[in-house]
Amino acid sequence: MTVSFAQIRDSQPALFHQGCGTRVVLDHIMSKWGVLVLSCLSDGTHRWGELRRQVDGISEKMLASTLRTLTEDGLVHRESLPTVPPHVEYSLTPLGHDLMERMLPLMEWVATHADGMLGRE
């Protein structure tokens, strides 16, 4: 059964109002970098350098900020291993996996249609 936007809005009237947490979370997960980092992590655990290489164009500062935000939101798990040099791994939490089960079909749709929408076919 597909739920409409009107049904969601009617069931929780303040859901999309200014200042609502929904807007904050949507900003975190649907930002350009949030989507790309989460998509990368949907393939498994990655170290910092791997994420930096796979998310082409992201600066170190933006990667750090995005990972910190997604970790605080409970979508990404950060594990610091006691090694020299420090070894930090990032992976999706169960909540992050749940989100990506829903987001990956959208990513597939975008990948299929982006060139045509931008007139590049």
Q: Is the dihedral of CA 91, 96, 102, 103 positive or negative?
A: negative
Q: Are 23 and 15 in contact (CB under 8 A)?
A: no
| Host domain of residue 87 | 18-117
Q: Is 9 among the domain residues?
A: no
Q: Is 45 among the domain residues?
A: yes
Q: Are 25 and 73 in contact (CB under 8 A)?
A: yes
Region of poorest pLDDT, from 23-27, 93-97, 111-115: 23-27
Q: Is 65 among the domain residues?
A: yes
CA dihedral 97, 66, 40, 115 (to 10 degrees): 110
Task: Work out how many domains the chain is built from and give that number.
Answer: 1
Percentage of the chain exceeding pLDDT 70: 95
* Summary mean pLDDT of the chain: 90
Q: Which residues contact 93 (CB under 8 A, 6 or more apart)?
A: 74, 75, 76, 77
Q: Is 6 among the domain residues?
A: no
The CATH number that applies at residue 31 is: 1.10.10.10
Q: What are 81's strand-pairing partners?
A: 87
pTM comes to: 0.85
Q: Is 73 among the domain residues?
A: yes
Q: What is the pLDDT of residues 18-67, one digit of tens each?
A: 777 887 888 889 999 999 999 999 999 999 999 999 999 999 999 999 99
